[in-house]
């Protein structure tokens, strides 16, 4: 379970986040929506404890899994080693099983550079799912995937949320993804950005009308 | 039985004498056992003595005097009077030092080389010439000076004596020998320039070594002066390519054997003062006077 | 393998050039032809002390290399990742980086004594700042994204070092290792001629004083030949393995 | 600036350590205290030839550094990016990398003559393989993605080199430059004592022959002081500017 | 105008593409759809001339713009320099104007590392659009963008296609994007992959039913 109380986060003179307070309980999934550049990734990095330069306090559990906005793999280690090295004590069988579930079983022994970007993203998902995280953070995890694959990944995530019951934070631009996974949704907006409820104008309908997704 | 560890330059001529001592058993006969620690550089032998890894080494007495003046308890036991000379190519028109005006002189051992300083004093006295100011000097490692002189890159050269022997054997001509120059300057040519260096503290702990070592050294010198077969035994380590080189080396070596007996200390003091005039403080330290007790008391 | 044959061909060309240069110069005492070196080389190898001296030198090179690489890498990593410490140690690094080998060697001999410890210490002290300076640059360029990933997933420090840091430092480390061995061997030579009674450096200086250029070359090239072997049989295969991912 | 004051403090600590060590040793002829060096330093600086020799040495270091960095970088880039050429030149690199400085210097003096050209050539030839070996590693690690981008957008080769290649080579190049100057100055010292009639190396050797450790240190540290200045006033600001993007 | 005739493209033993033949005329935009890992990016790299190791032949014009699947910026140069250095002769005003149109005008002088991923992607778009390409290649250009921003980028692309009339190739997982921009659509499928018409099951409807986009 996490409890975040961020009074302010700035990059030099540029204040990005302001007065953000929220809690996510075990088994809950909080979706965060918001325009590009508003500060979503920054918020996730604060929550994960990667960036410690902010005012405020954050409580977080020990075991965290993070799907970064970019795959962030070890290019010099094979796909399966990317799972095994990060998760100490993980068996090769379990790792292979997760590669099967993410649909990249045939890539177990190649380097990330030999995989397509979508395959790399799935490897990053596999890396997050194969542990038993108490906190799961997903930064736009399903982009670059075709619809069928994206559906499989969504199912996989839903399974994990149901079985392992981590507290989860999901950043997405896709309201449908949020609908499917999240127990709550918040909108990050403003300059500096703070959290609020999702406005009606930003509901699914608009996306369809605009001719996009 | 005391062991005396000698730090020597592996290519140095001192090995000829030390080897003869060992070969003829002169060390055992005089109550010590000689072991050799060969090094590739003079600096190493100095570090070895200073650091206590060796008991004796070879150096020139001016250097020892400076070290002693600076507080080191070094004492000096004569080994050789051999000094350098300045040589010119066979067909060089130069007849005396004054003909070298405006020419290039290659000098091994740097601007404080003893032969060079004596020759400067000599040029001043004989020709009123400032040798350093009126010629161009090229300093370099002895082999490089050797080579560039043979190639005619320099018009004259001053080198360590075993290279001089080779240069002469290769046809170069001695312009002035440092011995001649010393005599002209009123210096005692018998003052040994090179010698064995011990530490007083070591000699105090091993009171018999000095005498024994001196006897052994003299014994070896006598053997070399009288017995040609002793030389034949040394030939492999002498690195002489031709018979001419071998003979030249032998002759020059024997010419450098100092007289037995104590060193002429007054002569040495005069010498020291002359060096001070030309080499300056760099060479002789800030005392300017020959430190007492430098020459080991033998006999 | 094709790459090996290219190596041989290229070496032959080099030797060819040398033969031509030596013929053009026509003075074997200064630029002997490699052909003329074969016989003295063989003599030194079979009857002479070449193997003994080569062994001593190699021993010193290997030991100093391992010590200097280990210490230099550790120092460089710390300095490259901790700006606060870097500020502190940087002037020290500059001082030791620029302390002449000769001076450091002489001082080591004077302070520690004319023994093997001093010799190794002199070489290692000479080389550490070099490795550290290089590794520090590499450490400064470490990917912050991978570090974030490792932090989040609580990777063990040893795993992080081995599987995240080291591969990123690859270019700098192989560069440092390769030029490192070369520099170390050069310093070992100086160390040997200034205060050891054996080793290639001792022999080279000896023959230099005797103005025996062919023998100087024989001893120099015996170590170079060894390095060519090490390069072809160890360094290159190791490097190929370490950088396989880049070519895949 | 705070960073500058840290530098000074750290230097003072180093000097403090030295004073303590010298007091513990108690033999100023072997380990003189820095305080005792001030007076001879000042004398050499104002009345002695220190500035002259420092000037000569610095001139040689700068010239050789520029030549070696330029040639080594070019060679390393070519070898790192063209595997075919790399195979060819690699053995040559290993040979020249491991040719002892002493040997190369002596050979240069013998072949070119006992003059300045030979001196510079010896240093440059000594250093080029070093730089090349490092730069080659950096060039091998160049990002293929950025290269693809530059190819597609038809970037001019000079722009590509300056704005895409050089920044990626940053760590390797600054590392090579920093350890490069140090190595070059060390080689210059040897070059000077083997066959030049001026320069810090000549002086150090002179005083070494006289076993005058304080003067050896005075001359060594005069160059080190110069390097500390260069480091603080040129290298570090340049590096800070070049790596600003990383800290932003 | 491009004419591609790819008989085969393999990575080592793995054949990825086979018998792909197509033409795109000036002013045309060909959308390529296909599952993750099928070989879309590989195909684009062949067309652009980045990867020359294949059997077949490709004719392409000289001036190409490529929006890679990842931003591929120069991290050590400011945003605006990333445009100016790549396009020789581009005026600072024109570059700044393009930054305005892509909505990252306030980021002109910061490094890519100081921008959010969506902002970096827009910078990559700006870099492609600011030239006058004869061939425009887009590899999933609009992911990681919120709907409003994505719409703006779609409009911008449509403008460019209309004004500059390059031959264009668009890879996307999003049928709506393809509908909006493309004059033709092809589906890459199979192992090794080849091009075919878009099957009915892969039309917009399915995406809506699956709960995604
Ligand atoms: N350098 C490489 N070496 C070996 N295999 C590679 C290499 N690059 C790509 N592949 C393989 O080729 C196939 C096609 O890759 P490509 O990147 O073209 O896929 P894609 O269609 O772009 O997928 P995505 O939508 O996930 O980006 C993949 O199976 C991938 O594993
Ligand atoms: N290291 C940094 N230095 C300065 N500014 C930064 C830095 N990192 C991010 N920013 C700025 O902070 C703001 C928020 O960035 P962030 O990456 O959190 O956006 P985001 O909401 O994740 O956007 P996107 O959907 O595009 O990924 C952006 O305006 C960005 O320019
Ligand atoms: Mg983001
Ligand atoms: Mg792709």
Mean pLDDT of chain A: 84
Predicted pLDDT at B91:
85
Pick the closest to residue D18 from C111, C119, C87, C97 (CA basis): C111
Which B positions 57-116 lie with beta carbon below 8 A of chain D? 63, 66-67, 70-72, 106, 109-112
Size of interface A-E (CB pairs under 8 A): 118
- Which residues 6+ apart lie within 8 Å of C145 measured at CB? A68, A70, A72
Work out which ligand 1 atom sits closest to the CA atom of E44: 18
Q: Is the pLDDT of residue E203 over 70?
A: no
Q: What is the least distance, in Å, from the CA of C177 to any CA of chain A?
A: 20
The residue among C75 and B117 whose pLDDT is bigger is C75
Q: Is the pLDDT of residue A200 over 80?
A: no
Cα separations in angstroms, A107 against A78, A120, A153, C245, E130:
8, 10, 17, 14, 38
Average pLDDT over residues B185-210: 85
Which helix (H) or strand (E) covers residue E184, if one does?
strand E184-189
> What is the DSSP pairing of strand E184-189 with strand E194-196?
antiparallel
Q: What is the rounded CA–CA span in Å between residue C135 and residue C133?
A: 6
Task: Test C106 with B47 for CB contact under 8 angstroms.
Answer: yes
Q: Is E75 on the interface with D (CB under 8 A)?
A: yes
Pocket test for ligand 2, best of E78, E115, E150 (most atoms within 8 A of CB): E115
Report yes or no on chains E and A touching (3+ CB pairs under 8 A): yes
Predicted pLDDT at A44:
92
Q: Is the pLDDT of residue B145 over 80?
A: yes
Lowest-confidence segment of A75-89, A181-195, C38-52, E63-77 by average pLDDT? A181-195
Contact indicator for A43, A54 with CB cutoff of 8 Å: no
Predicted pLDDT at C67:
93
Predicted pLDDT at B282:
62
Q: Which domains does chain A have, with CATH numbers?
A: 2-63+132-196 (3.40.50.300)
Q: Is C197 on the interface with B (CB under 8 A)?
A: yes
pLDDT in tens, B222-272: 888 888 888 888 888 887 778 888 888 888 888 888 887 777 888 888 888
pLDDT in tens, C143-152: 889 999 999 8
pLDDT in tens, A45-71: 999 989 888 888 888 888 899 999 988
β strands within chain A, DSSP E: 2-11, 14-24, 29-33, 55-59, 64-67, 135-139, 167-171, 184-189, 194-196
Q: What is the least distance, in Å, from the CA of B37 to any CA of chain C?
A: 7
Cα separations in angstroms, B23 against B12, B19, B29, B237, C8:
17, 6, 12, 14, 49
CA of A38 to the centre of ligand 2 (A): 7
* Chains in touch with E (≥3 Cβ pairs < 8 A): A, D
Pocket test for ligand 2, best of A20, A36, A40, A177 (most atoms within 8 A of CB): A40
Average pLDDT over residues C164-185: 83
Residue A55 DSSP SS3? strand
Q: Is E129 on the interface with D (CB under 8 A)?
A: no
Which helix (H) or strand (E) covers residue E194, if one does?
strand E194-196
Q: Tokens 């240190």 belong to which residue?
A: D217
Q: Is the pLDDT of residue A205 over 60?
A: no
Average pLDDT over residues D111-126: 85
Residue E114, ligand 2, Cβ within 6 A: yes
Q: Is the pLDDT of residue C198 over 80?
A: yes
pLDDT in tens, A123-142: 998 999 888 888 999 998 88
Q: Is the pLDDT of residue E92 over 70?
A: yes
Q: Is the pLDDT of residue E210 over 60?
A: no
- Cβ contacts of A141 on chain E, cutoff 8 Å: none
pLDDT in tens, B84-140: 788 888 888 888 888 888 888 888 877 777 888 888 888 888 888 888 888 888 887
Lowest-confidence segment of B139-143, B276-280, E197-201 by average pLDDT? E197-201
With a Cβ cut-off of 6 Å, ligand 1 is lined by A 114-119, 144; E 11, 14, 16, 34, 36-42, 69
Residue E50: closest C-alpha in chain D: D148
Label residue E195 by pLDDT band (50, 70, 90).
confident
Maximum mean pLDDT: which of A72-76, D183-187, D233-237, E188-192? A72-76
Mean pLDDT of chain E: 84
Q: What is the least distance, in Å, from the CA of D187 to any CA of chain E?
A: 35
Q: Is the pLDDT of residue A172 over 60?
A: yes
Predicted pLDDT at C3:
60
The shortest CB-CB distance from B51 to any of C114, C205, C210 is to C114
For an interface test with E, the pick among A37, A104, A149, A202 (most E C-beta atoms closer than 10 Å) comes out as A37
Q: Is D142 on the interface with E (CB under 8 A)?
A: no
Contact indicator for B163, B142 with CB cutoff of 8 Å: yes
Predicted pLDDT at B283:
62
**Which ligand has the shortest distance to the CA of A193?**
2
Average pLDDT over residues D184-207: 82
Q: Is the pLDDT of residue B44 over 70?
A: yes
Mean pLDDT of chain D: 84
Q: What is the least distance, in Å, from the CA of D211 to any CA of chain C?
A: 10
Average pLDDT over residues E118-139: 90
pLDDT in tens, B215-224: 898 888 888 8
Task: Test C163 with A74 for CB contact under 8 angstroms.
Answer: yes
The backbone torsions φ and ψ at residue D156, rounded to the nearest 5 degrees and listed phi first, read -65, 140
B41: number of Cβ within 10 Å: 21
Contact indicator for A187, A197 with CB cutoff of 8 Å: yes
Residue D193: closest C-alpha in chain B: B140
Mean pLDDT of chain B: 83
Task: Test B283 with D210 for CB contact under 8 angstroms.
Answer: yes
Q: What is the rounded CA–CA span in Å between residue C115 and residue C60?
A: 12
Predicted pLDDT at C99:
84
pLDDT in tens, B46-69: 878 887 888 999 888 888 888 888
Report yes or no on chains B and A touching (3+ CB pairs under 8 A): no
Predicted pLDDT at E209:
31
C14: number of Cβ within 10 Å: 16
The residue among C6 and E48 whose pLDDT is bigger is E48
B228: number of Cβ within 10 Å: 8
Q: Is E191 on the interface with A (CB under 8 A)?
A: no
Q: Is C164 on the interface with A (CB under 8 A)?
A: yes
Q: What string of DSSP letters covers chain B?
A: -EEEEEEEETTSTHHHHHHHHHHTTHHHHTTEEEEEEEESSHHHHHHHHHTTS-SEEEEEHHHHHHHHHTT--EEEEEEE----EEEE-TT----SGGGGTT-EEEEET-TT-HHHHHHHHHHHHHH---HHHHSEEEEE-HHHHHHHHHTTSSSEEE--HHHHHHHHHTT-EEEEEHHHHHHHTT--TTS-SEEEEEEHHHHHHSTTHHHHHHHHHHHHHHHHHH-HHHHHHHHHHHT-SSHHHHHHHHHHHHHTPPPSS---HHHHHHHHHHHHHHHHHHHHTTT-SPPTT-B----
- Cβ contacts of D87 on chain C, cutoff 8 Å: 3, 6-7, 10
Contact indicator for B44, C114 with CB cutoff of 8 Å: yes
* CATH class of segment(s) D52-247: mainly alpha
What are the extents of the domains in chain C?
52-247
What ipTM did this prediction achieve?
Answer: 0.80
Which helix (H) or strand (E) covers residue C190, if one does?
helix C166-195
Predicted pLDDT at C1:
47
The shortest CB-CB distance from D114 to any of B46, B109, B140 is to B140
Label residue B287 by pLDDT band (50, 70, 90).
low
Count, residues in chain B: 299
Work out which ligand 2 atom sits closest to the CA atom of A45: 18
Q: Is the pLDDT of residue D67 over 90?
A: yes
Q: What is the rounded CA–CA span in Å between residue C106 and residue C119?
A: 10
Task: Test E173 with A150 for CB contact under 8 angstroms.
Answer: yes
Q: Is the pLDDT of residue C5 over 80?
A: no
Q: Is the pLDDT of residue B276 over 60?
A: yes
Q: Is the pLDDT of residue C82 over 60?
A: yes
pLDDT in tens, A1-51: 888 888 888 888 888 888 888 888 888 889 898 888 888 899 999 999 898
Question: D21-44 in b/e burial notation, b at 16+ Cβ within 10 A?
Answer: ebeeeeebebbbbbeebeebbeeb
Residue A88, ligand 2, Cβ within 6 A: no
Predicted pLDDT at E200:
58
Q: What is the rounded CA–CA span in Å between residue C91 and residue C110?
A: 25
- pTM of the predicted model over 0.80: yes
And the tokens for D139?
């060039």
And the tokens for D194?
């083997």
Q: What is the rounded CA–CA span in Å between residue A67 and residue A138?
A: 5
Average pLDDT over residues D108-134: 85
Average pLDDT over residues E9-36: 88
Q: Is D210 on the interface with C (CB under 8 A)?
A: no
- Cβ contacts of C148 on chain A, cutoff 8 Å: 45, 48, 50, 68, 72
- Residue A2 DSSP one-character state: E
The rounded percent of chain A whose pLDDT value lies above 70 is 93
Cα separations in angstroms, C171 against C141, C215, D167, D171:
12, 36, 15, 10
Q: Is the pLDDT of residue E111 over 60?
A: yes
Q: Is E132 on the interface with D (CB under 8 A)?
A: no
And the tokens for A188?
């990050």
Q: Is the pLDDT of residue D195 over 80?
A: no
Q: Is the pLDDT of residue C71 over 90?
A: yes
Q: Is the pLDDT of residue B14 over 90?
A: no
Contact indicator for D125, D104 with CB cutoff of 8 Å: yes
Predicted pLDDT at B285:
61
pLDDT in tens, A77-123: 999 999 999 888 889 999 999 899 888 889 889 999 899 998 999 99
CA of B6 to the centre of ligand 4 (A): 77
């Amino acid at each position: 379970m996490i409890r975040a109380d961020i009074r302010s986060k700035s990059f030099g003179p540029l204040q990005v986040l302001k007065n953000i307070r929220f809690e996510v309980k075990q088994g809950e999934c909080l979706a965060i929506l918001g325009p590009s550049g508003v500060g979503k990734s920054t918020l996730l990095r604060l929550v994960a404890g990667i960036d410690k330069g902010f005012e405020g306090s954050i409580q977080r559990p020990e075991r965290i899994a993070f799907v970064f906005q970019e795959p962030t793999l070890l290019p010099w280690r094979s796909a399966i080693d990317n799972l095994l090295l990060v998760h100490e004590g993980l068996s090769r069988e379990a790792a292979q099983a997760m590669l099967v579930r993410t649909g990249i079983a045939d890539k177990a022994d190649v380097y990330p550079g030999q995989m397509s970007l979508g395959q790399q993203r799935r490897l990053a998902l596999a890396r997050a799912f194969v542990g038993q995280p108490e906190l799961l953070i997903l930064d736009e995890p399903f982009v670059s995937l075709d619809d069928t694959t994206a559906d499989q990944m969504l199912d996989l995530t839903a399974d994990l949320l149901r079985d392992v019951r981590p507290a989860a934070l999901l950043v997405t631009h896709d309201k449908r993804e949020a609908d499917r996974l999240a127990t709550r949704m918040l909108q990050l907006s403003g300059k500096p950005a703070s959290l609020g409820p999702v406005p009606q104008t930003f509901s699914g309908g608009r996306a369809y009308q605009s001719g996009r997704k | 039985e005391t062991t005396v560890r000698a730090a020597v330059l592996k290519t140095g001529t001192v090995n000829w004498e030390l080897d003869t001592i060992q070969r003829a058993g002169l060390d055992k006969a005089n109550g010590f056992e000689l072991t050799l620690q060969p090094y590739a550089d003079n600096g190493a032998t100095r570090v070895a003595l200073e650091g206590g890894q060796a008991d004796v080494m070879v150096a020139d007495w001016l250097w020892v005097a400076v070290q002693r003046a600076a507080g080191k308890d070094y004492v000096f036991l004569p080994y050789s009077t051999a000094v350098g000379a300045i040589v010119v190519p066979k067909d060089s028109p130069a007849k005396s030092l004054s003909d070298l005006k405006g020419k290039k002189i290659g000098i091994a051992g740097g601007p404080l080389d003893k032969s060079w300083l004596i020759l400067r004093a000599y040029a001043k006295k004989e020709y009123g010439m400032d040798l350093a100011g009126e010629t161009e000097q090229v300093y370099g490692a002895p082999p490089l000076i050797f080579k560039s002189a043979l190639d005619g890159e320099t018009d004259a050269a001053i080198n360590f004596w075993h290279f001089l022997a080779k240069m002469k054997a290769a046809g170069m001509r001695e312009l002035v020998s440092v011995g001649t120059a010393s005599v002209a300057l009123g210096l005692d040519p018998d003052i040994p320039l090179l010698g064995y260096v011990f530490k007083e503290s070591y000699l105090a702990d091993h009171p018999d070594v000095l005498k024994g070592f001196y006897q052994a050294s003299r014994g070896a010198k006598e053997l070399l002066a009288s017995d040609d077969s002793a030389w034949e035994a040394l030939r492999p380590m002498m690195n002489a390519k031709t018979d001419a080189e071998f003979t030249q080396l032998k002759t020059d070596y024997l010419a450098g054997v100092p007289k037995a007996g104590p060193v002429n200390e007054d002569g040495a003091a005069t010498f020291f003062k002359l060096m001070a005039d030309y080499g300056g403080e760099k060479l002789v330290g800030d005392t300017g006077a020959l430190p007492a007790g430098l020459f080991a008391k033998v006999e | 393998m094709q790459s090996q044959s290219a190596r041989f061909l290229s070496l032959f060309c080099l030797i060819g050039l040398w033969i031509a240069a030596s013929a053009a110069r026509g003075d074997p005492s200064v630029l002997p032809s490699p052909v003329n070196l074969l016989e003295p080389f063989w003599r030194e190898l079979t009857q002479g002390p070449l193997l003994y001296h080569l062994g001593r030198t190699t021993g010193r090179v290997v030991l100093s290399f391992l010590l200097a690489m280990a210490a230099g890498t550790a120092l460089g990593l710390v300095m490259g990742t901790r700006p606060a410490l870097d500020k502190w140690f940087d002037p020290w690094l500059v001082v030791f980086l620029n302390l002449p080998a000769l001076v450091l060697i002489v001082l080591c001999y004077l302070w520690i004594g004319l023994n093997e410890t001093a010799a190794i210490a002199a070489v290692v002290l000479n080389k550490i700042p070099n490795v550290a300076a290089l590794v520090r640059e590499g450490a400064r360029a470490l990917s912050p994204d991978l570090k974030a990933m490792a932090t989040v997933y609580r990777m063990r420090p040893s795993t992080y070092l081995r599987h995240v840091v080291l591969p990123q430092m690859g270019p700098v480390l192989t560069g440092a290792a390769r030029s490192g061995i070369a520099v170390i061997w050069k310093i070992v030579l100086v160390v040997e001629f200034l205060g050891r009674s054996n080793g290639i450096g001792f022999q080279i200086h000896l023959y230099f004083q005797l103005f025996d250029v062919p023998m100087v070359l024989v001893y120099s090239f015996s170590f170079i030949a060894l390095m060519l072997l090490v390069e072809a049989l160890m360094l290159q295969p190791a490097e190929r393995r370490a950088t396989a991912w880049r070519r895949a």
